[in-house]
Amino acid sequence: MTLPISLQSAPVTKPLSKPRFYALVPCAGFGERAATALPKQYKNVAGRSVVAHTLEALSRVSRIDQILVVLSPGDDLFEGHAPGVDAWVSRMGGDTRAQTVRNGLVALLAHGAMPHDWVLVHDAARCLVRPEWISALITACADDEVGGLLALPVSDTLKHGQGGRVESTLDRTGKWQAQTPQMFRLGLLQNALQRAGPEVTDEASAVEAMGLSPLLVRGSLENFKLTFPPDFELAERLLRTR
């Protein structure tokens, strides 16, 4: 039997492999506002370093295939402050967070990751993240065309200040506080960061600049980034009561 012309000439397209899930932890900063002797990710909180708590939570998410930690080129502290952590380390961090993440994406591609794989970028200093919050983000975004991030609706009144005084009150309607992880396809995120430049402060902002709308997935108030000295005291209490 002769096949119809349309079937005879139909191109054979190799199906894409099932996307994998990678966690990328930028860990090349110092955190001057934390006023710590060492980079803040290595400060001891509740018996372990901040980054060790973070990586332990990520390692408990079964759907994450591999964790990449991106360090500054001269970092000789990580192994001593995160012993026994199941993560791959790359010392190719940049001067900004965006540069560090971009370099991490290059490292992932060089080690076999594909552009359609998912990358969950998570702050090393968000050490109170829970595996179930990360899993909820993966479930919400795995079939989404864009990707998304953990975030919290803003409930407090917002003030715009200048010189230590209030200039105006801002409308909080529809405003969300961005958290991490932020989850996007590797190829999309790489393209977005290249276009956005080195000063963009989070991955979602770079994706938004391409005209796309990341999905907002409700996070938790506990998933805050340790930035100022009192944050470490609060994290200590919370981790010890878990």
- At 25, list the tokens: 């932890």
- All domains of the chain in start order, with CATH: 18-241 (3.90.550.10)
Instruction: Give residue 2's pLDDT band: very low, low, confident or very high (50, 70, 90).
Output: very low
Secondary structure (3-state) at 209: coil
pTM for this prediction: 0.90
**pLDDT mean over 134-160:** 96
Give percent of the chain above pLDDT 70: 90
Handedness of CA 211, 217, 221, 225 (dihedral sign): negative
Q: Summarize pLDDT for 168-219 with one digit per residue, the tens.
A: 999 999 999 999 999 999 999 999 999 998 889 999 999 999 999 999 999 9
Distance CA 208, CA 196 (A): 10
Q: Summarize pLDDT for 151-165 with one digit per residue, the tens.
A: 999 999 999 999 999
Supply the pLDDT for residue 5: 38
Cβ of 38: how many Cβ atoms within 10 Å? 14
